[in-house]
Structure 1
Amino acid sequence: MHQIADLISIFETIFYQSHNTRLIKGVHEPIYTPANADTPYHQIVFAHGFYASALHEIAHWLVAGDKRRLLEDYGYWYCPDGRDKAQQAEFEAVEVKPQAIEWALSVAASFEFNVSVDNLNGEQTCRFDFQKRVHQQLLQLIKNGFNPRTTALLKALSDFYNTPWPLTATQFVWQHPQEFSNAV
């Protein structure tokens, strides 16, 4: 049901002409590269052809402002897996908004979403606390509105996958597993 070619086509239809940006199926790690002498368009390269990776990398692009989109990987340094507690806390703070947008994109595409703490070989943190922060950010975005690029893509995904539009908070109900077990 979820063909990467469909997502690439939807993205290109909306953003290639207006933002000179293409979604590219990569072989290795994801990266964003601005247009340069070798490639006349910006590239959102996602990992291994995975649909979830594409949604995640798109979410980062949707968060990035005009100036950040002129910098490789938006000018951020990525601290790889194996982060200590302080590095992981910083990683999660930066990831809240992109993952909230990724969650919205996933719902619009009728695709399962899972938060990612992306630190298998490092300090373990509570995934559920992070998911709660992502959920709270998502509810704020729904209440206050997404930026125009995000709205355009959400609407296109909703149209393509025939999911409810506009998105509402009731589509994103989440309970911490402990809260769920206490309610039963």
Structure 2
Amino acid sequence: MSFCYSDLISLFNHCFAASYNTRLERGDDEPVYLPADNIIDHHRIVFAHGYFASALHEVAHWLVAGDARRTQEDYGYWYCPDGRDGEQQRQFEGVEIKPQAIEWALSLCCGFHFNVSCDNLNGSVEPDRHAFKALVREQALHYLEQGFPARAQTFMHALRKHYHQPSLTAESFSL
């Protein structure tokens, strides 16, 4: 199956451009969320270099963000770049569990392979990818049982329909 980022842009913008004044856009640099301002009248989710996985990841952050967060650049979150120490990495992973659980679900809805991201290649400690993925899976299973956020459900439905994927089950999230 071919995975083209332009399909994600089209599907996302169809789902949310009118109702949330938000568009998904390909960027040439680091990903960023930019709220509307005096120059550009719509909110932008900018993903990195045309990477399909980056688009899914950045959309997942938007799907988690509440109304107030969506008025702030990068949702107002703290971000410490690659090279984090152990405590900084724990903080990073703590805020990444929910978005990566949704990203995993989005990936499954596309039939696209999900890789958990610890995003700390130059850190002072080696992240425990398996432990982090288990936490992300636990959150995904919680969402599956309790319901994904409404916007996530909307986009998941559009992706499943476009990519002809089945509904998600607990077995979908295998370690």
Which bracket does the TM-score occupy, shorter chain normalised?
over 0.9
Superimposed CA distance per residue, residues 154-173 of structure 1 (whole angstroms, 9 cap, x where no aligned partner) = 000000000002x2112112
What corresponds to 1:155 in structure 2?
157
Superimposed CA distance per residue, residues 73-124 of structure 1 (whole angstroms, 9 cap, x where no aligned partner) = 0011210000000000000011011000000000001001000100000021
1:125 equivalent among 110, 121, 127: 127
Matched, 1:51 2:52: yes
Superimposed CA distance per residue, residues 51-75 of structure 1 (whole angstroms, 9 cap, x where no aligned partner) = 0000000000000000100000001
Distance across 2 between alignment mates of 1:80 and 1:171 = 31
Superimposed CA distance per residue, residues 131-181 of structure 1 (whole angstroms, 9 cap, x where no aligned partner) = 00001000000000011100000000000000002x21121122xxxxxxx
Moved >3 Å (runs of 4+) = none
Superimposed CA distance per residue, residues 4-55 of structure 1 (whole angstroms, 9 cap, x where no aligned partner) = 1111000000000000000010000000000001100000000011000000
Higher Rg of the two aligned structures: 1
Distance across 2 between alignment mates of 1:45 and 1:60 = 11
What corresponds to 2:138 in structure 1?
136
What corresponds to 1:75 in structure 2?
76
Distance across 1 between alignment mates of 2:150 and 2:132 = 26
Distance across 1 between alignment mates of 2:142 and 2:29 = 33
What corresponds to 2:148 in structure 1?
146
Alignment of 1:1-184 (within 5 A): 1-122=2-123, 123-165=125-167, 167-174=168-175
RMSD: 0.6
Amino acid of the structure 2 residue aligned with 1:7: L
Distance across 2 between alignment mates of 1:23 and 1:39 = 14
Amino acid of the structure 1 residue aligned with 2:138: Q
- Segments of structure 1 that go 5 or more residues without pairing to the other structure are 175-184
TM-score (structure 2 length as normaliser): 0.97
Instruction: Give the share of equivalent positions with the same residue, in percent.
Output: 55
Secondary structure of the corresponding residue to residue 44 of structure 1: strand
Amino acid of the structure 1 residue aligned with 2:161: D
Amino acid of the structure 2 residue aligned with 1:74: Y
Distance across 1 between alignment mates of 2:137 and 2:49 = 27
Secondary structure of the corresponding residue to residue 80 of structure 1: coil
TM-score (structure 1 length as normaliser): 0.93
Distance across 1 between alignment mates of 2:106 and 2:48 = 17
Secondary structure of the corresponding residue to residue 22 of structure 1: strand
Distance across 2 between alignment mates of 1:33 and 1:95 = 19
Distance across 1 between alignment mates of 2:80 and 2:174 = 31
